[in-house]
Structure 1
Amino acid sequence: MASTSHKKYHVDDFNSKMFLDVYFSQGAQQSMQEVAVIYPIIQLHKAVTSGRIKGDTLTDITLGPLIHLLYTVCDIFKEINILKFNDECIKELKKWLDTHTECFDWSHTSKYITELYGGSSQIQEKEEELKSKIWYIVKCNIEKENITDPVVLPKSDCLLSAAVLEVISEDQEAFRKNFKKMVSLLKPGGQLLLFTVLEATFYHVGEHKFSFLKCDETFVRSVLCEQGFLIEFVDLFKKPSDSHLIDFNDIMFIIACKPMDT
């Protein structure tokens, strides 16, 4: 269970810019770049090129104001809706969307994605394409049955979630309930793209320590199966080295399909 002495991502003050600088910037530790940037980009790239990902609409629910995962899949979708649990992440995203002078520089990741796909498109063009497909940035509340209340979003073809359930859930029962609420935003037969941090208990943002709910692969698989999801693909990435910033064992990536009768 997460320690009550640690801050909560969706409740306490969260410095979104510092979070990006520490884990996702070009100057971040190499091990953090491997875990937080390179690994998820490669997995999503494989999923895209294999034809596993399909649909017109994507809902994104990820930890922090992340953009690089969306660069990887934006060619597929016509509409992308982003949900965040705190105001600071929304502010940071809107800086990027408005090309504010103080927005976070994602050019190192967009350049990497462009090279990975072997395309000739310019980085600026890729960024503008992604921005044009973002329809809504909505603050959500996991305590509500409709987590986007009062906004009612249409159900999406695909749901992308990364390291969110572990930071908003107090215990395993809350994880189950929160998962059920999140996937209610997905159409029957829709796809779930889930990145989960396994065996973690904390992560640092500056001097502040935030909590993770400690979960393992068996538990996460069981939660999906309880909701009728068909797990189509699983990959595990072992942490490259120990870090004082975060404790975890693996990153797990799952592609799963929501049952048609829900």
Structure 2
Amino acid sequence: MDCSSYKLYHEHEPDSRTMLETYYSGDHDMTFKDDALMGPTEKLHNTLSMGHMTGEILIDISSGPLVHHLYSACEFFREIILMRTNEKCIMEIMKWHDDRTGAFSWGHVAAHVTNLEGRSDECEAKEMKLKSAITHVVKFDTEKESLTELIGVPQADCIFSYGFLDLVCKDQEDYKRNLRKILNLLKPGGHLILHGALNASYYTVGEHKFHALSYDETFASNALLAEGMTILQCEVTPRKSESHLTDYDGVLFSQLASRSRIED
């Protein structure tokens, strides 16, 4: 299949439940357990546990109906606002959030995070705390010049972005434009946590292949530095999973801050 014939995430909307079951399930032998699920969750837990990132508002701009990376965050931010690009993934998130019948279970992540925190007997409380912290789930249009246009989202103390730029950007110039839109939501002195898959060209959901943006660590770092961010942490983990479902070769995890916070 030629790359130009791959479907686009925000135009063709991959099936949310199939995406979750393929890449984020709690199955013991789930192929992407280390790369997509537990690895990033542990890195985020370790980063937040250092105590440098706290505040009132966290905005999460991520791909798909994902919340696994927020279980640690709800201990450090009072309010979490989720921003997503398609209706299907919002419906999937709300099904989980409102405890509706048939909702995807993130219990395996809640158990993992509470174990990391030394509170393995508090899984249910962790689940309730995260759901309580999520105050809004907002749909937005990537084609708009501003992500806050017509929706009035406040600026954040911290922004998480998990896989978003990889999936919605058609090329590297698109990556830079969307990165700038994301950073416009960040308060002066705020932090950004960025997660992405390096050197990918596609990922598979069900029987469909979707476009993924190919870029490397150098490109991502240069794009962030050009927007006035300071890199506090940047880790590249070589791919551990073996699967034909996607072709990335490593996972990028970065913690960044605006230079004003470093200078203070």
Bin of the TM-score, shorter chain as denominator length: over 0.9
* Deviations, residues 118-143 of structure 1 (Å, cap 9, x unaligned): 12552111111111111110001111
Task: Report the Cα distance in structure 1 between the residues aligned to 2:233 and 2:97, rounded to whole angstroms.
Answer: 32
1:97-112 aligned within 5 A: 97-112=97-112
* Deviations, residues 5-41 of structure 1 (Å, cap 9, x unaligned): 1111111132001100011112274440111111111
Normalised by the size of structure 1, how large is the TM-score? 0.95
Other structure's SS at 1:237 match = strand
Worse-matched range after superposition: 145-154 or 7-16: 145-154
* Deviations, residues 24-63 of structure 1 (Å, cap 9, x unaligned): 1122744401111111111011111112322221000111
- 1:197 counterpart residue number: 197
1:168-187 aligned within 5 A: 168-187=168-187
Equivalent AA in structure 2 for residue 219 of structure 1? F
Whether the aligned pair in 1 keeps the contact of 2:62 and 2:162 (CA below 8 Å) is: yes
Whether the aligned pair in 2 keeps the contact of 1:23 and 1:29 (CA below 8 Å) is: no
- 1:3 counterpart residue number: 3
Task: Report the Cα distance in structure 2 between the residues aligned to 1:133 and 1:13, rounded to whole angstroms.
Answer: 27
Equivalent AA in structure 1 for residue 209 of structure 2? K
Normalised by the size of structure 2, how large is the TM-score? 0.95
- 2:219 counterpart residue number: 219
Aligned length: 260
Equivalent AA in structure 2 for residue 135 of structure 1? T
Equivalent AA in structure 1 for residue 215 of structure 2? C
Q: Shift in Å at residue 149 of structure 1? A: 2.7
Question: Identity, % of aligned pairs?
Answer: 37
- 1:210 counterpart residue number: 210
* Deviations, residues 156-200 of structure 1 (Å, cap 9, x unaligned): 000000111111111111110010011111111100000011000
Is 1:237 aligned to 2:237, yes or no?
yes
- 1:128 counterpart residue number: 128
1:181 to 1:125, Cα distance in 2 relative to 1, 3 A: same
Equivalent AA in structure 2 for residue 147 of structure 1? L
Task: Report the Cα distance in structure 2 between the residues aligned to 1:29 and 1:5, rounded to whole angstroms.
Answer: 31
